[in-house]
Amino acid sequence: MTAIGIIVGSTRPGGVGTDVGRWVHEIASLRGDATFELLDLREFDLPLLDEPVPAAAASGAYSKPHTRRWAEKVASFDGYVFVTPEYNHSVPAALKNAIDYLYPEWHHKAAGFVGYGVDGGVRAMEHLRQVMGQIRIAAVSAYVPLSLYTDFVEFAKFSPAPQRAEAVGTMLADLIAWSDALRAVRSGGPRVED
């Protein structure tokens, strides 16, 4: 069965990322076409990138135990949902750092996005789309923007508008379809050469 990792991209103490991630996981878990696991970056304790060889050149041969643990977890999924706040029109440094740690483990998979912020986290999600292209992840077009004005009480307590659950369902349907389709590429089927 297709395995999807839901990656909470914020490590800020007291942040709402975990609440948003749990909500996505609850909705996803009602589906019968994939398995879902919630991943909190705080549990992986990744320092600022400290591998001596860039991930693209390391070919999966990482020197640090925390990198190997992260690589093993990321490699176990067919696709990802990135849950991200928008910080200064972009993604949190912890999320970008976690992505940059690895390279081949991301290849030929799919990603969907759930963003939150003043403007629904749209700029952070668009920034992630650019990053995904570089690490050979297909980003699905459906996404979930959560506004601090309409989906949170007093900008702090997560309380999504009812239509947001439908948006999550649409995004997950696309994500699972793409993740399934890319399985053939990962298993050595036809692929476009660099």
What letter represents residue 17's amino acid?
G
pLDDT tens-digit profile, the chain (194 residues)? 999 999 999 999 988 999 999 999 999 999 999 999 999 999 999 999 999 999 999 988 999 999 999 999 999 999 999 999 999 999 999 999 999 999 999 999 999 999 999 999 999 999 999 999 999 999 999 999 999 999 999 988 999 999 999 999 999 999 999 999 999 998 876 545 54
What pTM value is reported for the model?
Answer: 0.95
Are 161 and 151 in contact, with CB atoms under 8 Å apart? Answer: yes
Q: Where are the domains of the chain?
A: 2-186
CB-based contacts of 169: which residues, under 8 Å, 6+ apart?
27
As its CATH architecture, domain 2-186 has 3-Layer(aba) Sandwich (3.40)
Q: What is the DSSP string of 3-62?
A: EEEEEE----TT-SHHHHHHHHHHHHHT-SSEEEEEEEGGGT---S---SS-HHHHTT--
**Per-residue DSSP letter, 190:** S
